[in-house]
Amino acid sequence: MPFIRVETNMKVEASEADAFVLKLSKFLSVALGKPEIYVTVMLHQNVSMSLSGSNDPAVFASLGSISLQPEKCMELSKSVCEFLTAEFSISGSRVFIEFRDLERSMFGWNGRTF
């Protein structure tokens, strides 16, 4: 159900990228209170990106989940931003996060929808 796509203009070594997605998967499972079996994490690194008119290191994350409550997004923004700034050693002002609530019938897994 939950997925997060993290895009950054930073280059990440393959072993570090693999460790990052596994760590973020566990973190997101706990933060959202969802079983990790349903969590998907994607890292797109070394992409061309401008944020606030600058090519300085930056991250854009898109987080979607079924039953994502808007009132929880402020707390999620804080915790996900703290996670990403620590992992990438960048300022929180260089991180944007998009949140999306997904309809069960519009999200498929294992040959069915939720």
What CATH number corresponds to the domain at position 100? 3.30.429.10
pLDDT higher than threshold 90 for residue 41: yes
Spatial CB neighbours of 38, under 8 Å, sequence gap ≥ 6: 1, 2, 109
Domain that residue 22 falls in: 3-113
Q: Which residue of the set 2, 35, 57, 70 is catalytic? A: 2
Instruction: Report the pLDDT value the prediction gives residue 97, as an integer from 0 to 100.
Output: 98
User: Which residues are 7's β-sheet partners?
Assistant: 44, 60
Specify whether the CB–CB gap between 75 and 111 falls below 8 A: no
Residue 2: active-site member: yes
What share of the chain has pLDDT > 90, as a percent?
89
User: How is residue 93 annotated by DSSP?
Assistant: G
Query: The pTM is what?
Result: 0.92
Specify whether the CB–CB gap between 24 and 80 falls below 8 A: no
What tens digit of pLDDT does each residue of 53-89 get?
A: 999 999 999 999 999 999 999 999 999 999 999 999 9
Instruction: Report the pLDDT value the prediction gives residue 107, as an integer from 0 to 100.
Output: 80
